[in-house]
Amino acid sequence: MNIVLLRGALLLAPVALWAATNEPSRTFKRMEVQIAMRDGVKLYTDIYISRKSRDRLPFLFTRTPYGATDEKGNNKVLPDSYMDFVQEGYIFVFQDIRGRYKSEGRFVMFRPPRDKSDPKAIDEGTDTYDTISWLIEHIPNNNGRAGVLGISYGGWLTVMAMLDPHPALKAVSEQASPADQFLGDDFHHNGAFRLSYGLEYSAMMETGTTNFHFKFDKNDTFEWYAALGALSNFNQNYGHEKLPTWNDFVAHPNYDEFWRQQAVWPYLDTPKVPNLNVAGWWDQEDFYGPMKIYETLEKKDTNHMNYVTVGPWNHGGWSRGDGRKLGEIDFDSNTAEYFRAKVQAPWFAYWLKDKGPLKQPEALTFQTGSNRWESYDEWPPRSRTTDRPLYFRGAGIASFDKPGGEDDFDSYISDPSHPVPYRHRPISPTYPAGGWPTWLVEDQRFVHLRPDVLSWETEPLQEDLPVVGDVMAHLFASTSGTDSDWIVKLIDVYPEDYPKAPKMGGYQLMIADEVFRARFRESFTHPKAVVPNEVAEYAVDLHTNNHAFLKGHRVMVQVQSTWFPVIDRNPQTFVENIFLANETNYRPATQRVYRSARFASHVTLPVLTR
């Protein structure tokens, strides 16, 4: 009871401090300025200076392509997400990036880092640098320190700020930043195109200087994308080559220099600024990114500036609400409130205001299933886990015992004209968000037992099975076509009788998932046709995780070859460029997943041993 009351008290104070969204003048002096960058382009910047504080305060700086203020001119981030910061005391700065909303200049999606040999070159890092310089010089009563944070595109902007940081930049928090748009983030996963997201996001960002929502003429976008047919029909019937990013998709179907230049992780070196990487286990947009950024920085983190926190959230879910539930899944505590008050606020207070000590562990991750926060000295904690292969067996059984038999397999027909939906229909548009934010926690029974979805599951577990670290699937599979997609899903199957929440009985909760496009099995740069009916091994990275499969639950693995329309349909006939394929290229194929002694398909689980 005392803990609950304490949390309530933590929330009441900043609510009172921030009197009302439409009356910020009670708390802050507001300045709206156009700050000139080194090339003369002026960026709209919204600044909030405390009226009551007499202390010299640091800057907390957030840059965005989504509008620093809403359509009424109000700032929603301060009262919705930054209340713990408001209570602590900062000079808040929000800025529209080039070519978006009230800022001048030309917008370039994920503008690559500049050529440093050109003194006139600009990028998002120089814009951050120039803004901090202006703030230090022109805003009175600052303490000469700045922190930068942002989510998603804002997280990527944060990474750009830390590559060549301003001397006053003392701390950052990269949150859900994309790291590689071809290998694992918004637009592709392992080269497989994220169709609905890629199309709708490009339309939103590049149709004008403000957000635009693509106009569908069907309530169920599954039907609209199915009627679209081949990807080549989009520019012909809708895009008319007016969306630069869609045109880039078409022009760069493989992992060429264009995608490598956009990827942020190759630019990372020894951390120059303390960075708190933040991710959500069910981030529907950018989970790969923050974990890849953390992993890359960690290799050269000699001064211990690189930290990571992962919680049971969707994209940006830590920044809003209480974080008690995601969809139907209850985590037994207010995880987002905990993060904002006990992790994020102390992080910036320590580095920007010398308030400490810093109690942040190297890795703070929420273990789902058991629903508790856990601290680690390294991530993943390889010294504390043992890899256990979970094998596919006959009759839909999954077991830790390796199969025998000679080239046994399960098979299905994958038909591009009848793809497996990635979430429950009707599928609403990605923007404005309907079911998109929570689709990763939807009950997978809606596709279980489909003839084009294979499933294997264990018997009820006799004890808890904590899976902590990197999960990898190894498929030994063949296709009658010359290209294919392989989608693997690791699922926690709840007991049929579940007294804690009776409606959750038998629920199939997806814990980890990924798609792999077979043409890229040897190289993402040089795709290669599959040899029909030849068995090949596909190593599918299901990424890092921390989940306890509890006693009485089952572990399930599902495999399928379509996931529509979040992933475009693979023609299953090899073509040089799927974006230019025609309708005749899309053909059904017979898929085989092997489960024999020689071809032992399995998922490797890092099981916590101590």
pLDDT digits (tens, 9 = 90+) for 586-605: 999 999 999 999 999 999 99
pLDDT number for residue 3 = 26
The whole-number pLDDT of residue 148 equals: 98
Tokens of 314: 């969707």
Peptide bond into 565 cis (omega under 30): yes
pLDDT > 80? residue 42 = yes
pTM: 0.94
pLDDT in tens, 213-265: 888 999 999 999 999 999 999 999 998 899 999 999 999 999 999 999 989 99
Query: Residue 2's pLDDT band (boundaries 50, 70, 90)?
Result: very low
pLDDT tens-digit profile of 534-587? 999 999 999 999 999 999 999 999 999 999 999 999 999 999 999 999 999 999
pLDDT tens for each residue of 152-180: 999 999 999 999 999 999 999 999 999 99
Q: What's the number of CA atoms in the CB half-sphere (13 Å) around residue 602?
A: 18
Q: Average pLDDT of 22-29? A: 72
What is 10-148's CATH number? 3.40.50.1820
Position 13 pLDDT exceeds 50: no
* pLDDT computed for residue 549 by the predictor: 98
pLDDT at 491 over 60: yes
Q: Contact at 8 Å (CB) between 235 and 246?
A: yes
- The kind and range of the H/E element at 157 are helix 153-163
Lowest mean per-residue pLDDT among 21-30, 87-96, 193-202, 213-222: 21-30
- For domain 382-608, the CATH superfamily is Galactose-binding domain-like (2.60.120.260)
User: Domain segments of the chain: what residues?
Assistant: 10-148, 382-608
State in Å, rounded, how far the first CA of the chain is from the last one: 32
The pLDDT value given to residue 342: 97
pLDDT tens digits, one per residue of 387-427: 999 999 999 999 999 999 889 999 999 999 999 999 999 99
Q: Is 401 exposed, middle or buried (0-12, 13-18, 19+ CB in 10 A)?
A: exposed
**Can you tell me the distance from the alpha carbon of 167 to that of 158, in angstroms, rounded to the nearest whole number?**
15
CA atoms within 13 A on the CB side of 10: 19
d(CA 535, CA 530): 10
Which tokens go with 84? 């713990």
Q: What is the overall mean pLDDT for the chain?
A: 94
Contact between 314 and 282 under an 8 Å Cβ cutoff? The reply is yes
Task: For residues 203 and 57, give the distance between their C-alpha atoms in angstroms, rounded to a whole number.
Answer: 40
pLDDT value at residue 36:
98
* E strand segments, 219-334: 275-280, 306-311, 325-326, 329-330
